[in-house]
């Protein structure tokens, strides 16, 4: 289930906030201090915005993968055998405790 996750957003935002807000404050005085401060602020803002766009694009993708029919058939064949292997116990009987309960 793709969607918003608080921890990665908070960590990445905090990382870029440190670079864009905290570091410019603690720069040593010098002739290029203002330029370095501006560079840090712009770098942090644009990198964070780029990350945010990439992160949000994955939350609700507009298109999915385009697969050939042979690839789809191969995947279906592999997944069915994998699911059967997972659902069967050592006596080749269906593990009923894994299956969802029927509604009703």
pLDDT, tens digit (0-9, with 9 covering 90-100), for 25-62:
999 999 999 999 999 999 999 999 999 999 988 887 77
Exposure letters 93-102 (e unless 16+ CB within 10 A, then b): eeeeeeeeee
Q: 20: how many CB neighbours lie within 10 A of its CB?
A: 19
Mean pLDDT, residues 62-76 taken together: 83
Q: 5: how many CB neighbours lie within 10 A of its CB?
A: 10
User: What is the distance between the alpha carbons of residues 46 and 11, in angstroms, rounded to a whole number?
Assistant: 16
| Confidence tier at 63 by pLDDT (50, 70, 90) | confident
**Domain locations in the chain as residue ranges:** 6-59
pLDDT, tens digit (0-9, with 9 covering 90-100), for 11-34:
999 999 999 999 999 999 999 999
Is the model's pTM score more than 0.85? no
């Amino acid at each position: 289930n793709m969607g918003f996750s608080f921890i990665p957003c908070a960590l990445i935002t905090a990382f870029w906030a440190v670079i864009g807000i905290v570091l410019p404050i603690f720069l040593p005085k010098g002739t290029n201090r203002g330029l370095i401060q501006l560079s840090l602020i712009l770098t942090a803002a644009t990198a964070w915005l780029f990350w945010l766009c990439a992160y949000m694009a994955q939350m609700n993708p507009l298109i999915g993968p385009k697969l050939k029919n042979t690839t789809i058939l191969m995947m279906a064949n592999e997944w069915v055998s994998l699911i059967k292997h997972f659902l069967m116990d050592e006596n080749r009987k269906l593990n009923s405790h894994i299956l969802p309960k029927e509604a009703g």
